[in-house]
Amino acid sequence: MKKIFVAGHNGMVGRAIVKKLVKIQNVQVLTVEKDELNLLDQEKVKHFLSEHKPEEVYLAAAKVGGIQANNDYPTEFLYENLMIQNNVMFSAFESKIKKLLFLGSSCIYPKFSKQPIRESELLSGYLEPTNEPYAIAKIAGLKLCESLNRQYGESLGIDYRAVMPTNLYGEGDDYGNPDAAHVIPSLINKIYLSKIKNKDSVELWGTGTPKREFLFSDDLASACIFLMGISKEQFRKSVGYPSCHVNVGFGQDIEISELAKMICKVIGYNGEVKFDAKKPDGTPKKLLDSSVINALGSKPKVSLEDGLKIAYTSFLNEFANGKT
């Protein structure tokens, strides 16, 4: 039976990966709670992986947040993500674990990348300032994967891969702080609060004109498991070795203002949507070119409209009770 460790299993992405892995025959999914294993503690991570020796690792653990959180806490976003990545990845290598999947982010690409963004756009320009520390951490993780492959891929059989997903949403998203959350959970939270408080309007950050691409978390989980199942030779040929990262997107973007209207419809809020143009917009447009993974045979299945309905139901079940 294959033992697979999912780091960050309580997060939205890790949760979706675990949900799919447990349905696969002859797979034992290994998880551990944060109070038992702090991934910032190098020695404990090394001991855990050395003791349990999983055959594969999915590195979905990270410190994440929206534009305000990235703006307010750049130190934590840089330091904690570097520590988590380095501890898990290098400890896996030292424990002779040959297969690992690192989850990055589309924010690794320059602010003004050619659209849609191909994997080759990496390091071709300046990053978006508001999330630069987080992006640098993710680039470092990707490059550690790449370096381990280059140095030990042949001699030790190391096969570490990385996925760069677009903006994500889904069940179990973080709705705790609407100002610090990612786009969709932040909008759901703010619009829902305006509805239950009978407010005539809701105010959102920015101008509403930036365009974003959104992928449902279950579709990303399917893509991750699919990529881990591809042979080393086929993966290298498709991504262009020594590169090891693959974009995973939905294939279509939408203006934030239009997204807000869709969420208002799902929630049943009829008030006015206002935008505070004094707040930052972030990157004006960020659409991934997902042709590599699509050509390999993996494509998303959940539409944005259907995904928003699922996400809103999850929000009501898990988070909304304490707000009413």
8 Å CB contact between 302 and 216:
yes
Nearest one of 57, 49, 52 to 101, comparing CA atoms: 57
Classified as helix, coil or strand, 21 is helix
Q: What distance lies between CA 58 and its chain's CA centroid?
A: 12
The DSSP secondary structure of 212-238, one letter per residue, reads: EEEEEHHHHHHHHHHHHTS-HHHHHHH
Of 58, 79, 109, 134, the catalytic one is 134
Distance CA 215, CA 47 (A): 35
Name the residue with tokens 């203006």: 255
Asked if 126 is an active-site residue, the reply is no
- CA 6 → CA 57, 106, 113, 317, distances in Å? 6, 21, 32, 25
Active-site positions read 134
